[in-house]
Each structure stands twice: as structure tokens, then as C-alpha cells.
Amino acid sequence: MKKIAVVGLGYVGLPLGLNFARAGAKVIGLDIDPEKTKALNAGQSYIKHISEGDVAEAVASGRFMASGDFSLVKSEAVDAVIICVPTPLTKQREPDISFILDTGREVAPYLQRGMVVILESTTFPGTTDEYLRPVLEGGSGLVAGKDFYLAFSPEREDPGNAKSRVSEVPKVIGGLTPECLKKAMEIYGIAVKNLVPVSSCRTAEAVKLLENIFRSVNIALVNELKTVYAAMGIDIWEVIEAAKTKPFGFMPFYPGPGLGGHCIPIDPFYLTWKAREYGQTTRFIELAGEVNTRMPEYVLERTIEALNWWGKPLKGSKVLVVGLAYKEDVDDERESPSYHLMDLLAKYGAEVSYYDPYIPVIKVTREHPHWAGTKSVEWNEETVGGFDACVIATAHKVINWEELAKWCKIIVDTRNAMAGVRTAPNQVWKA
């Protein structure tokens, strides 16, 4: 039985660890948050789309345990360490790989000959061999590619997609050396059906960035077309629905109030930063970032327009933001455009509240700590009907849009959630 240590038990590490456990490996989940490790060992899940039944089953089988003790890497003689920690941007929009390097420092003293270390955190090309490798070698006295094996394999999680399975999603893998690649493929071969080997760690790192840049640029395109077509009296959602009937040469992307999550708003700028080292510019990435970043302002403008039509100023109006999560049907609000929208509404004098069935209270965040402790309002006619306007920022499937149409006089819809719902004239304003 292979032993796998997964470092970082969040939206990437936890499903990966559980998948290895289901496949028959023994998994040690390592995380510096004691609340997470305590919950997991009690068979509890803190991520909406991961069922407590799956966690409890893995723990009961003896194939999964969580801990904050990194020395288990040595004492349990693990075969591989897989690193799944955050890679945010600094306030200067530069890569922050401190979590990766800190993890490397924690793991290094316990590395043993023959172990495999794999980084999954999204980052710029060169991180694995230029930054993580020296930390691991310096802290262990071992040499990567000779004494232990080093690789990069980008995560491909799709939270909220019930059809997405870790075992079914093809796994791109790049190794520091051919032997490193071989050893990493042996590890992932335990739990993933389709492996996609590439020539190097840098290539694998670049693959992930391409995937996320592709989404960022195309979302920016439809966001820009949304504003252009709206000025012409054309509904971008109707245009996309018709365009996607073309069986070739078109892939639908959808507009929204901005970008959110820990990938699309952040990862492209890792390449922008790295490209400058080579005297290169990334104009598409930067332009897409500008377009997507401006979307909350566009939603604000449409909200003001809707209120004005009904004879109400934004200042003093009670506005409910419906949906705090960055994506429908998840409980992850990292980098959510809803925060930016709430900030803008409050800045211009609105009384702002939010409703999200998956986020009952806002936790402390790095960028928006002033909203910490704010609670989701109750979903009932008396409460929702008391708002002057409701702005749909996230279209969770569990939300009853028919009730919203009955209760709220002015609805600003950024997700086309009200399509097919009977509404009154000038009640719904698309943004």
C-alpha cells in the first residue's frame, strides 16, 4: 500500500487526498489549521461539495487521517508528498509563493531517499526547479533527481460540477528529470486513469496558466460585448445561446459581475510577472484583467440606472446582493466580485446586505476584512421584500427565483437567473 502525504486540505488537497484513499492508498493529510484536521478526523467536511459521508468512510477505513505534524512524512515513511497550498498575489499584484516555500521548509527535514515531491499549486514557470528545489535540497541535504524525485502536476478541480471526478480528469505531469516523471506517474497512476506526461516541470506549470488565461480572456470578451450590445439594445445572453448552436469553431463563455475564485483572477498575472524577466509583455492578459476588473462598476451603474427609473437614489437605498460565492453552487467566496460590488454600493451610500445559503457569515479575508462577521439575511418575503433593489451576483440553483420576482420590486440580474421567470415590466435590469 502506497503512503501519500497531501499538504493543504482545501478545495484541491482534500478531494485529491480522498481520491487516493478510495483508490487504496494510505493518505496523511497535513494542514496548519487545527480546526480542519480536527473536523476531518471526526468524519466532518467543511467544503460543501465534499460529503461528510465520503470523509467519514475514508477515515473509518483507516486509509485517511489528518494532522498538523509534518514529521509524519518521515515516521510514516511516505512514498510521496503532494503540495496543494494557496498562491495569492501581493497588493502589488506580484506572485506570493511564500506558502509553497514555507511548506518546502516544513517538509525538507523529513525527506528520505526515494521519496517523490510533487507541487500542484498554480504558479509561474520555473517555480518548482528554481525556487522549491533549492529549499528542499538545502533543508534535507538530498539532491533532487538523484536522492529524491521532484515534479509538478497542475490541479484541475472544478468545484460545483457534480460530474467532475478527480479520477476521471486527465492529469498533466512534468518531472525535473525523466526518472522524476516516471516516479510521479507511478504515484498518480494509483488514483487517476489518464496521465498526460510533458517534457518538464516548467511545461506543466505553463499548461495550467494557459488553461486559466484562456478562460480569463474569453470571459473578458463576453463581458465587453455585454456592455457594447446592451448599448445597442441587444441581449448578450440571447446572442450566446444562438451562437453556441454552431457545431464547430465556437465555445460559449458567459458574462458576469466580474471574476472570482482563487484561479482565474490571479493566475494569469503570474505569467505577466514572469514574462517581464524575459523582456516580454502580456497585453491580452492585462487587457482582460482591466475589462473583468471593471465589471462591478458596470453593475453599479446599472443598479443606479434601475433605481433612478423608479425614482429612487442609490444613497439611502437598501440593496441586497444575492450570492456571495464566486461561483454558483459552491461555498467558496475567495476573490468574489460580490465583495467589490458591496464595497462600491456602500461607498455611494447604499445600505448593503447579502444573502447566500452557503455562506451564513463572512469570515476574515485578506482583501475585505471589514465585512467579517456580517451575516446572511433570512430568505423570506418580509426580509427580502424590505429591500429597494436586489442584485443577483451568484445564481445558486437552490435559490427560488420565482419568489424573488414576487418579493423584490427592482432586480439587477448579472447572471441571467431571471430568464424564464414571469416578471413585471422594468422589474429586471440585466447587468
Q: What is the CATH number of the domain that holds 26?
A: 3.40.50.720
Whether residues 240 and 129 fall in one domain: no
**Would you say residue 217 lies in a domain?**
no
The question of whether 408 is a catalytic residue gets the answer no
**Would you say residue 17 lies in a domain?**
yes
Whether residues 175 and 301 fall in one domain: no
**Would you say residue 377 lies in a domain?**
yes
**Would you say residue 211 lies in a domain?**
no
**Would you say residue 167 lies in a domain?**
yes
State which of 182, 199, 216 marks the end of a domain.
199
- For residue 184, the tally of other CB atoms under 10 A from its CB is 29
Pick the catalytic residue from 84, 263, 390, 408: 263
Whether residues 258 and 300 fall in one domain: yes
Whether residues 12 and 102 fall in one domain: yes
Look at residue 45 in the predicted model and tell me its pLDDT.
Answer: 93
Whether residues 195 and 228 fall in one domain: no
Average pLDDT per consecutive 10 residues, the chain (431 residues; last block may be shorter): 96 95 96 95 92 93 96 96 92 88 97 97 96 98 98 88 79 98 97 97 97 95 97 97 97 92 77 91 92 96 97 97 95 91 97 97 88 97 98 97 98 97 97 96
pTM of the model: 0.92
Look at residue 254 in the predicted model and tell me its pLDDT.
Answer: 96
State which of 199, 234, 251 marks the end of a domain.
199
Comparing C-alpha atoms, which of 189, 203, 263 is closest to residue 23?
A: 189
Report the first-to-last Cα separation within the chain, whole angstroms.
Answer: 53
**Would you say residue 255 lies in a domain?**
yes
Look at residue 334 in the predicted model and tell me its pLDDT.
Answer: 84
Question: Angle 265-121-6 (CA atoms, 0-180°, nearest 5)?
Answer: 140
Q: What total number of domains does the chain contain? A: 2
Whether residues 154 and 244 fall in one domain: no
Look at residue 163 in the predicted model and tell me its pLDDT.
Answer: 66
Q: Cell numbers 480569463 correspond to what residue? A: 216
Q: Which domain holds residue 363?
A: 224-430
Whether residues 307 and 416 fall in one domain: yes
